[in-house]
Amino acid sequence: MTSCADEVNRGQEPIGEVELETFPSGAADLRFEKGVLIVEDLTGGTTAISALHRYRFDKAQHRMRLIGDDVMQNSRTNAHDSLKVSTNQLTGKSISQFRKLKKDEYVDQTPVTKKISAQVLYMEDAPKPCVALGCMDQ
């Protein structure tokens, strides 16, 4: 997926590019809300990973900056626990929430907040969803 600075330059001057997951469970959803590009993607089978990335245009660098993401792994068949990780790159804060499967219901566990590096990441540097969940290195 490539993002362009404005409608006039559509397709002429890319300002960011990100590689989406190889085996999506459908088409990615793209939308703009209050100047923020939101990219939502779902991958997997019975174990699914949903990812929502938020980008804002950095005028000084003329690039799309990652400002946050929400990534969740869950079971579509209620076969295992669930994990959601929300990261705010602007504040350097990450919140993880486990949901334990008890019988046929998920029970929210206490969220864990931690400080992360508030390093500037651009669209092409956005971590893969599995990296955010801790199931692999970038």
Q: Tens of pLDDT along 16-51?
A: 777 776 666 777 889 999 999 999 998 888 888 899
> In the predicted model, is pLDDT for residue 5 greater than 90?
no
Q: Which residues of 47-57 are buried (b: 16+ CB within 10 A; e: fewer)?
A: eebbbbbbbbb
What pLDDT does residue 95 have?
96
| DSSP 8-state secondary structure symbol assigned to residue 35 | T
Q: Tens of pLDDT along 64-112?
A: 999 999 999 988 888 889 999 999 999 999 999 999 999 888 899 999 9
Residue 6 to residue 53: CA distance in whole angstroms:
20
User: What global pTM score does this model have?
Assistant: 0.81
